[in-house]
Copies of this chain bind each other. A is one copy, B any other.
């Protein structure tokens, strides 16, 4: 009763791998268990992926794509520069909260090395390009001096850093909103902290 070529092993593996990853993270994902769970021999995954890193890379690629898509959608919908940066920050943190394992996978050191997976590198580059384009597409177009441009860039990095820090600290459970505040509002409050300054240092 040869069940050879039941057709779609690669996709099934990928799907199940992603589910396991969501529940248990990269360390909890075992190729052998995955194979057993898929009802296929323990060596079969190696016919479809370049070992464990290969599977992680495949998942990471789709994660990068969804991430980039979300950022792009948000960026396209907002007009003014400041609002766009704020909305991007919210989307960035939102993605991390909705898909913490994916977020960790694409940023953490469990991510397979980019130089060994060109498609992964492309996906990563694209995601960061989206981020950078959205952040540097200022309203007053091209009317900046060099130092102004440098300041804008620095500001973008600072915004990115804060969003990234919030994302990490929230999904690692180090910070959490007070009982009477919604998570979204909490995040927005942190992201907007710059803008509400009233007193001088």
Measuring CB to CB, which residues of chain A are less than 8 angstroms from any residue of chain B? 25, 82, 104, 107-109, 128, 151, 154-155, 157-158, 160-169, 172, 174-175, 189-190, 193-197, 201
Contacts and interface: CB of A to CB of B under 8 A. Distances in A.
* 4 closest A-B pairs by CB: A165-B165, A158-B193, A161-B165, A164-B165
B172 A157 contact: no
A164 B165 CA distance: 5
A151 B166 CA distance: 17
A68 to B, nearest CB: 15
A171 to B, nearest CB: 9
A84 to B, nearest CB: 12
Given A155-B193, A164-B168, 20 more contacts: A107-B168, A107-B174, A108-B108, A108-B172, A151-B196, A154-B190, A154-B193, A157-B190, A158-B190, A160-B175, A161-B162, A161-B165, A161-B175, A161-B190, A162-B162, A163-B165, A165-B165, A165-B168, A193-B194, A194-B194
11 contacts: A82-B201, A107-B168, A107-B172, A155-B193, A158-B190, A158-B194, A161-B165, A162-B165, A164-B164, A164-B165, A194-B194
Nearest to A151: B196
Please give the count of copies of this chain that the complex contains. 2
Contacts of A167: 165
A193 B196 CA distance: 14
Contacts of A151: 196
A168 B169 CA distance: 11
Contacts of A194: 158, 193-194, 197
Given A193-B155, A195-B201, A169 B160 contact: yes
A95 B162 CA distance: 18
